[in-house]
A and B are shown apart, each in its own frame.
Chain A
Amino acid sequence: MLRVKNLTVDHGAIRALHGVSISIEKGQLAAVIGANGAGKTTLLRTLSGLNKATEGSATWGDLNVLHSKPESLVRHGISHVSEGKSVIPELTVSENLDLGALWRRNRKESAQSKKEVVELFPRLGERLTQRADSLSGGERQMLAIGRSMMSKPQLLLLDEPSLGLAPLVVEQIFQSIRDLSNSLGLTVVLVEQNAMGALKIADIGIVLNLGSIAATGSAAALRDDPAVRAAYLGF
């Protein structure tokens, strides 16, 4: 249960989010779509503690999400995969994965998580000792998601995982996200430019425009909504 009430976020003099309110139930996959600059990334960054909110509230269960440092939110089960294939190129694949579980003190459990990630993304398993900068775009995205899974999140915030990837790879990744949500009961907030792909796998959809909510509803309803189709789905 992610409850965002009246969230307002400023970047200096620019207001990026105007009083946004959202409700996402546990286990739901929510797609957040909208044009560039609509505030989608700001929303995620505020929920993960990277940006400061000016007004409003956001709670995950009974945890107040605002006013916390990102590193402590991770310990409460919130994991944010930021925009742009957020892996660390100088580290190996294995090290990138380990990074996600460092805060967990239990070695056995972390090793188990790593196994599960490799099962989910076998390509990573083949390249464990290679440096992350030798991976393809799709592999990097898998690595980023894999790393976030290493911290055993309950709430997953994904920022444009499809960016710059070939359609086939995008499908793979979207499918993996859906599978993860199903099998682990993960709550997912999926920010995407690829509105169609996102709405196809989502349960509910949220449309942001210029920092405000333009529409919400079930993913299916939004897919069929003519206004949404015209604006974001291209037909």
Chain B
Amino acid sequence: MFEFVNTLLIGITAGSIYSLMAIAIVLVWRSTRVVNFAAGGIALASTFVGSTILEITGSFWIALPVAMLAGAALSAFIEYFFLRPLLKRSGDKNQEIFLPIIATLGILGIMKAVLHFIYGEKIGVLSPPLSDKGFIVSGESIALSPLRLLILGIVLLLMIALTLIFQRTNLGLSLRAASFAPEISRLSGIRVDLVRTVGWAISGAAGATAGILQTVNGSGAVTPEAFEFSLLLVFGFVAAVIGGIESLVGAVVGGLTLGIILAIILMYLGSSLVFFAAFLILILVLLLRPNGIIGVKGGRRA
């Protein structure tokens, strides 16, 4: 029984981090119809920033917000200088998605190369700010630790913040309108291009948080070739697609679903089937609902 509860806890924690990454991807998809692989690079770079700030100030609570800002700035930079000019040229309807994907892959490659060059073999340490020793319940240590609570707390907080921003603020209204109907939004006076950049910035902040939490939840150290980040990107993307890439709620659902199921598989079937399981989950969901669990038929009109 304990084992199962522990597995669930582990899965929910990992899943919530995937959800953050999925949110980052969904945000960019909805605002610019681009699958943003560079989100992985942004998360990586921001995590390095975070670890540097941690080194300087010794405080995780300063490092995290600064990393989020770095992620936001970097993401906005990429949107403004790379994606905007690229999307202006896109004509061919089907290449409309393939070429931007490849472009973001290229940006990811450059970011990784640059980070590797700057940091070399150095490891960015990001030790968790809270203990990762599980609480004792009925004499047994369960998988819930202060650290885990913190991670879940941060993710929950971010999701509440995002929901409030989107549903209750003018900015949020602009973001939603611009992603549903950019032309109508322009005709209503919304600076759609600026709004899109803001959408990317928020995505960058979410990705940065995901990167930091993933590191803190895992090895506590970040390197340019860190496998954790490839994992984060792939699972984040898969989670977004499972949930339905048009929906932020879907990103959360997809992330949690993926996290929990994978944790169960990891526990009971071993580690080498985990990736294949992710693939199976994805294809099963898509067979039943080709637009993801929260299957919203996306597609931009005017």
Contacts and interface: CB of A to CB of B under 8 A. Distances in A.
A and B touch in the complex (CB under 8 A): yes
Question: Chain A interface secondary structure, helix, strand, loop or mixed?
Answer: loop
A95 interface: yes
Given A90-B176, A99-B177, A71 B184 contact: no
A114 interface: no
A48 interface: yes
A84 B301 CA distance: 11
A82 B183 contact: yes
A88 B177 contact: yes
A50 interface: yes
Contacts of B186: 49-50, 69-71
Contacts of B174: 99, 102
Interface stretch (A17-25, A73-81, A161-169, A223-231): A73-81
A47 to B, nearest CB: 12
Contacts of A69: 186
Contacts of A40: none
A80 B191 CA distance: 15
Nearest to A103: B189
A151 interface: yes
Contact of A100 (B181, B189, B302): B189
B192 interface: yes
A70 B181 contact: no
Most chain A Cβ neighbours within 10 Å, of B174, B176, B177, B185:
B177
Interface string B172-197: 01101100110111111111100000
Contact of A147 (B180, B183, B188, B191): B188
B95 interface: no
Contacts of B176: 90-91
B170 interface: yes
B183 A50 contact: yes
A86 B187 contact: yes
Interface string A101-118: 011100000000000000
A86 B177 contact: no
Nearest to B171: A102
Contact of B188 (A49, A90, A100): A100
A10 interface: no
Nearest to B185: A99
Contacts of A82: 183-184, 187, 302
A86 B183 CA distance: 9
A110 B188 CA distance: 13
Interface in B251-302: 302
B183 A99 contact: no
Contacts of A151: 188-189
Contact of B189 (A81, A86, A88, A102): A102
A102 B190 contact: yes
B190 A99 contact: yes
Given A82-B302, A99-B173, A102-B174, A74 B180 contact: no
A74 B173 contact: no
Contacts of B188: 74, 99-100, 102-103, 147-148, 151
A98 B180 CA distance: 15
A147 B302 CA distance: 16
Given A82-B302, A86-B302, A98-B173, A91 B180 contact: yes
A110 B198 CA distance: 24
A98 B168 CA distance: 12
A84 B189 CA distance: 19
Interface in B139-193: 170, 173-174, 176-177, 180-181, 183-192
A80 B187 contact: yes
Contacts of A50: 183, 186-187
Interface string A37-76: 0000000000011100000000000000000011100110
Interface in B73-110: none
A70 B187 contact: yes
Given A86-B302, A95-B173, A102-B170, A74 B181 contact: no
Given A82-B183, A86-B302, A88-B184, A103 B173 contact: no
B64 to A, nearest CB: 31
B78 to A, nearest CB: 23
Interface of A: 48-50, 69-71, 74-75, 79-82, 84, 86-91, 95, 98-100, 102-104, 147-148, 151
26 contacts: A48-B187, A50-B183, A69-B186, A71-B191, A71-B192, A74-B187, A82-B184, A82-B187, A86-B181, A88-B177, A88-B181, A89-B180, A91-B173, A91-B176, A98-B173, A99-B174, A100-B188, A100-B189, A102-B188, A102-B189, A103-B188, A103-B190, A103-B191, A147-B188, A148-B188, A151-B188
